[in-house]
Amino acid sequence: MSELFPHWLSIDTTNATINMMLLGVILSASIFAAAIARRTNIPRISILMMVGIGIAFIQQVWLGAPADDLLKGLSTPLIQLALVMVAFLLGNELEFGQLRQTGRLILVTSLSVVLMSDLLVGAGLLMLGFPIVVAVSLAAISVATDPAAVSESVRDSGRTGLVPRVLLGVVAIDDAWGIVLFGVSMSILGWMVGAEGQLALWHAMWELGGAILLGFAVGLPAAMLTGRLKPGEPTQIEAIAIILLLTGLSSFLGVSALLASMVAGGLVANCSHHHTRSFQEIELIEWPFLVFFFVLSGASIDLYKVDDALMLTLAYIVLRLAGRLVGGLLAAVLTRPGHEGLPHNIGLALTPQAGVAIGMALLAAERFPQYRDSILPVVVASTILFELIGPLLVRRVLR
C-alpha cells in the first residue's frame, strides 16, 4: 500500500496502524447505527451485524479477497472479551435472592427450549432423509443461544419484570446445557461411525468441569478481594483484571469461557455482599466491545458458503424456530399454575445464534470432515438470519 504514496511521505502501513484505523471506523459506524436505530426502531444489534456483513461483501466480493480475519489476529480476542463480559454480567442474574423467585421458571424454560430444539431439529432432519451425523450435529448446535444479542436486546427495550429476568437467567445457563449436549452427541456419533467416542466425551467433560473449576478459582478470590478500595478507578481495574484473567485462562486451558465467566459472576454476586461495583464498572465499558463483537462476527462470515446446502439450511431454520416456539409453549404450560406472566412465545426470544454455534460447527466439521460442507454453510447462513431477526423477536416477546 505504501507504493501508492510519494516516497517523501512517511506512511506507516503496518498491521498495528491499520488495525487502529479500522477499530476507529467500526466505533464510528456504531454511532451512525445508534442514530438509525432511534429513527427506524430497528435494533442497533441488527444494524451492526449488517455493517459487518457489508464489510464482508466489500472484502470478499468487491475486492476478491478470501474470508479472513479483518484485524489480522485481533478479532478473536476482541470477540472473546465481549462474550466474557456478557457472561460475567449474566452471572449477576444467578443471585440467590432472585433465583428463589424465578429459579424454577428459569430451569423449566431452559430445559424445555433446549430439549425441544434438539428433538425437533434432529428428528425433523432425519425424517427429511439427511445423514444421521448431520442431523445429530445440527440438533446439538441448535441449542446454543447468543447471550450478547439477547441481553443487549433486553437492555435496549427498557423492560423490567418477570419476563426479562427469566430471559437473562435462561441465556446464563443455556450454554452449559449446550456444551453437555454437544459433547454427548459428538461422543455418540463418534462411537457410531467408528471414531474415538470416549475421547470426545472426555473433551466435553473437561470443557464443562474445567470451566466450573476455573470460575471458582477466579470468582471466589474476586468476591473476597474486590471492592475493598474506594469506588472509581481501583474497582474498574479490578473488574478488567477479572475479565482478562477469565478470557486468557479459559483459552489456555481449553475450557468454556462463557461458563467459567458465568460461574465467576455468580460467585461475585452471591459472595461479595459488601459491593456490586464490579458489575457496574464492566457495564460502563461493555458497549464498545459489543460493537466489535457484532461487526467483526458479521465481517468474518464466508459469504460464498452461504448458499451451499440451501434445502438443509431452510429445514434447519424452520425446525429450530419450531423447537424454540414449542419449547417456550411447553415451559409456559408447565409453569402456569404458579406464574401467570410467562408468555407462550417466550422461546422465540431465544433465537439469536452466534459465536458458540459457529464454534460447535467448526468442532463438528473437524471431527467429521466428510460432512464439513454440509454443516458449516448451514450454521453460517442461519447465524446471519438469526442474528438479524433475533433482536426483533426479543422485542416482540417483551411487548
The pLDDT value given to residue 12 = 55
Q: 232: pLDDT confidence band, cut at 50, 70 and 90?
A: very low
pTM above 0.85, yes or no: no
Q: How is residue 73 written as a grid cell? A: 489476529
Residue 83 near residue 65, CB atoms below 8 Å: no
Q: 106: pLDDT confidence band, cut at 50, 70 and 90?
A: confident
Instruction: Please state which of the four CATH numbers 3.10.20.30, 1.20.1530.20, 3.30.300.30, 3.30.470.20 is assigned to the domain occupying 76-398.
Output: 1.20.1530.20
Confidence check: pLDDT of 197 > 60: no
Closest CA to 298 of 32, 118, 110, 75: 75
Measure the CA–CA gap between 102 and 94, rounded to whole angstroms. 10
CA angle, 309 then 314 then 316, to 5°: 95
Residue 243 or residue 237, greater confidence? 243
Q: What are the boundaries of each domain within the chain?
A: 2-62, 76-398
Cα distances (angstroms) measured from residue 169 to each of 97, 108, 139, 151? 13, 11, 22, 10
**Mean pLDDT to the nearest integer, 155-163:** 74
Give every CB contact of residue 217 below 8 A, 6+ residues apart in sequence. none
